[in-house]
Amino acid sequence: MARLPGVETPEQVVCHVDMDCFYAACERLKEPKLEDEPLVVGMGYEDGEEHGAVATASYEARKYGVESAMAISEALEKLPRRATADAPEDTGVYRPVDMAFYEEVSADVKSVLDDFADTVRNVSIDEAYLDLGDPSWDEVEAIGRRLKADIEEAAGVVASVGIAPSMTTAKLASDADKPDGLVVVEPDEVREFLAPMAVADLHGVGPVTARELREMGFETAGDIAAADEATLVEAFGERGRDIYAQARGEDDREVEPKGRPKSLSSESAFVEATADETEKREKVRALADEVAERATAKGALYKTIGIKVVEPPFEVNTRARSLSGPVDAPDLVEAIVLDLLDEFEEAAVRKLGVRVSNLSFDERDQTSLDTWEDEAEDARDHDIRERHRERSTGGQASLTDFE
């Protein structure tokens, strides 16, 4: 959807989180003695059997040639099953998939991700993209380290993280230094990062396509990036266009939640921080219009309406107001966000955002505007009292995070 005038498409800072050997890591949570042991988790496999396929092989097991999707019977030839505690070192431990337990651990990880970023796209049980908003690139590595630490503390498993200006490059970055990796690729480093990458490492390039690319003289992503796009399209059709774009780091997709979103938001930065009240209110109106229009287009009702205010250098403030019931009311969104913005009337602002949350898609009974007006009046009175108290005591207002 095209953005409204005055609302620029922001440069993304995309984080890709990929849990390292997730099923094996979960098994080690249950059995800590398996740490550092060659461990194979089988799909459709039962203890002591030889059927099924490898779902995950720990890095220790991979040294013996065991790989995901390999038949268990083949894996056993490369890495025999450990029968006793004093078995030879070149044997491994085999475990069946315990999906219920893995989902519990995954829920702990997802809880961290949801708290860490406003927009999260969960791709699978062990993989997700995050839109980190608009931090400076000098801050990004520290953000990544904090995210990794939060995941390990909350869920007990280790993640590799890639951060880059696009989804494709972020995913390639998370793969680049496994396990327990953190790779940051800044906007002006994308082509340099991708250039030496083997064609087989590009996503969507399987063994057959990799061989065909090498036969055409393409050994690395840099070779592809320097080629004529038409050559790739002629050989591989639209997939060739995708490979070419990936090799050049070209990907303008935005991180969006998979399935029905829990919230909808939009943010926009000023060229320079401004304290001009008119500029701030115009920006918020444009953002409110855009978010409300998107909610209406998706058939979403919202119960919570909020703003995000970023003051220099990067002080993030959020305010939100909840209604008694869900609504689809663009005028109401504008009225509330402008009211919330009044608290920052004199503040110099670097960036503004508007969010609607607590979404519902099948409940069409809306709260009445009369009910909201009563609630809004009470809320404004409460806000005025709180601001007076903060100014008189020198205290700092507590932040109401977006839900």
- Just list the catalytic residues: 127
CA–CA gap between residue 128 and residue 19 (Å, rounded): 9
Contact criterion met (CB below 8 Å) for 326 and 302:
yes
Residue 321, C-beta contacts closer than 8 angstroms, at least 6 positions apart? 304, 305, 306, 336, 339, 340, 376, 379
Please choose, from the candidates 200, 242, 239, the residue with its C-alpha nearest in 3D space to the C-alpha of residue 219.
200
Helix axes 238-247, 207-215, angle to 10 degrees: 80
**Could you tell me the CA-to-CA distances from 361 to 92, 225, 357, 358 in Å, in that order?**
49, 43, 12, 10
